[in-house]
């Protein structure tokens, strides 16, 4: 037993037993100027070797990551071990207590067997935690980025929540960069506001069971079921799903569109607007003017966002769910809300933004409802977690989900629609 494992056995006996019970993940040392561990066959395609840390300036990388921690922080959560540089740098602060969270027990075992980590593990202000036992993200925190990528499936929910926080500043800056175009859209749409109703929760009351329709790949499979059930349910759809629905002769009761970019106009392409003359369009005032200009049916204007008239945390599916709940339904079935790339595809067939994602190697992995590992995207993972949080806040509504080729959602029971 090496010195690192001896320290773990002495200070963290429960974690030592867990480490003893797993095989180390296959890895080797790189040949860079600052050698690092390279893990093999870790992507869904099994093609991408993963370098755990920088091969050039690992200490500088650790210093950069540590800037996420406030200067006056008394405690810190460090997600992932890396090769210990982040822990060593943080523990130089004279009073801080640092909890290192293992994101993958096999990766951690490889690190502890192949490199010297006994110094920071033995530090009296250092603690070691099993990430699979954490149900939320604790902070303030810093991360070893590739430990998140290598996270075990038991830590994927934690990984997604950490990535959401890490990406929040980028998303805020991205939103600011789009402000000019959004303001332009509002000005263009302003003259059409006069014949739109401003949304409030009693605008479109409807307590019927509701099908909320996303544009995920599994949607096509359930088009016949939607059509057969429609007389008994309300259909609320994202605009991306319109062409798929139209191909099956399904007229949604409500369509929601919130995208400011010109791409959203393609959602309505090749569709006879008379087909939708009795469908309610719910739109954000920043939506591309082409959407409203061509709409012949009733319209409702609603500002969307985390704390606005209709809730949205990055995805229009959120607004569809919130609209349905605020309309009074007590039962929502999610269809085409996959949050992953089913069979490598981004959207349902006929969706205007359909793309083959199987050619991309560096995508996060999730587990679908059939227990298989499939590719997704950080944004999709985050949208799913936000929706889980929303579902948890609405126990008065029964949520179910169709399409086990998609990812499961906590709080939404699977139903068999085959």
Rounded to whole angstroms, what are the CA distances from 397 to 210, 312, 331, 335? 11, 18, 6, 16
In three state form, how does the secondary structure of 391-409 look? HHCCCCCEEEECCCCCCCE
Q: Which pair of tokens denotes residue 284?
A: 């954000």
Beta sheet of 75-79, edge-to-edge order: 126-130, 97-102, 75-79, 141-143
pLDDT digits (tens, 9 = 90+) for 214-236: 999 999 999 999 999 998 999 99
Find the radius of gyration of the CA atoms of the chain: 24
Write the CB contacts of 107 (distance below 8 Å, at least 6 apart in sequence). 25, 39, 52, 81, 147, 150, 152
Residue 20 tokens, joined: 């003893």
In this model, does residue 249 exceed pLDDT 70?
yes
Query: For residue 16, is pLDDT > 50?
Result: yes
CATH 3.90.1480 residue ranges for the chain: 180-414
Task: State the pTM of this model.
Answer: 0.83
d(CA 319, CA 302): 10
CA distances from 222 to 79, 123, 320, 369 (A): 40, 56, 18, 16
- Indicate the DSSP class of residue 230: G
Give the CA distances from residue 251 to residues 32, 278, 415, in Å, rounded to whole numbers and listed in that order: 59, 9, 23
pLDDT at 195: 63
DSSP labels, 198-226 = EP-TTSS---S-EEEE--SGGGGGGHHHH
Q: What is the mean pLDDT of the chain?
A: 90
Cβ pair 318, 383 in contact under 8 A: yes
The bridge status of strand 254-257 relative to strand 234-238 is: parallel
CATH class name, domain 180-414:
alpha beta
What are the tens digits of pLDDT across the range 27-40?
999 987 899 999 98
Which one-letter DSSP state was computed for residue 289? Answer: H
Q: What is the pLDDT of residues 276-318, one digit of tens each?
A: 999 999 999 999 888 888 888 998 988 888 888 899 998 999 9
On whether the CB atoms of residues 362 and 48 are closer than 8 A, the answer is: yes
Alpha carbons 232 and 229: distance in angstroms, whole number? 6
Provide the sign of the torsion angle of the four alpha carbons 322, 268, 344, 49, taken in this order: negative
């Amino acid at each position: 037993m090496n010195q690192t494992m001896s320290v773990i056995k002495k200070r963290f006996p429960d974690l030592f037993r867990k480490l003893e019970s797993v095989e180390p993940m296959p890895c080797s040392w790189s040949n860079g100027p600052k050698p690092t561990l390279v893990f093999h066959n870790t992507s869904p395609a099994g093609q991408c070797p993963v370098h755990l840390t920088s091969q050039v300036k690992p200490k500088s990388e650790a210093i950069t990551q540590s800037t996420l921690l406030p200067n006056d922080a008394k405690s810190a959560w460090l997600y992932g071990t890396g090769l210990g540089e982040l822990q060593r740098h943080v523990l130089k602060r004279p009073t801080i207590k640092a909890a290192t969270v293992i994101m993958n027990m096999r990766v951690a075992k490889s690190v502890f067997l192949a490199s010297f980590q006994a110094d920071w593990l033995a530090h009296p202000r250092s603690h070691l935690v099993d990430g699979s036992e954490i149900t939320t993200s604790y902070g303030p925190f810093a991360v070893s980025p590739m430990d998140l990528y290598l996270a075990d499936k038991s830590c994927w929910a934690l990984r997604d929540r950490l990535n959401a926080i890490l990406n929040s500043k980028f998303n805020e800056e991205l939103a600011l960069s789009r402000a000019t175009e959004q303001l332009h859209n509002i000005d263009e749409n302003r003259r059409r506001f006069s014949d739109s109703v401003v949304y409030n929760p009693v605008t479109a009351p409807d307590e019927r069971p509701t099908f909320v329709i996303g544009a995920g790949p599994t949607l096509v499979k359930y088009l016949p079921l939607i059509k057969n059930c429609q007389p008994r349910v309300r259909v609320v759809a994202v605009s991306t799903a319109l062409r798929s629905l139209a191909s099956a002769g399904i007229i949604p009761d409500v369509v929601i569109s919130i995208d400011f970019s010109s791409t959203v106009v393609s959602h309505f392409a090749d569709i006879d607007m008379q087909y939708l003359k009795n469908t309610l369009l719910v739109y954000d005032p920043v939506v591309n003017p082409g959407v409203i200009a061509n709409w012949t049916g009733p319209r409702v204007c609603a500002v969307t966002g985390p704390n606005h008239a209709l809730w949205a945390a990055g995805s229009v599916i959120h607004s569809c769910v919130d609209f349905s709940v605020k309309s009074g339904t007590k039962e929502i079935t999610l269809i085409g809300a996959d949050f992953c790339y089913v069979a490598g595809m981004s959207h349902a067939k006929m969706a205007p933004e359909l793309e083959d994602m199987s050619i991309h190697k560096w995508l996060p992995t999730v587990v679908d409802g059939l227990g298989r590992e499939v590719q997704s995207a950080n944004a999709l993972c985050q949208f799913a977690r936000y929706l889980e949080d929303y579902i948890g806040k609405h126990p008065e509504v029964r949520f179910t989900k169709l399409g086990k080729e998609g990812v499961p959602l906590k709080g939404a029971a699977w139903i068999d629609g085959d």
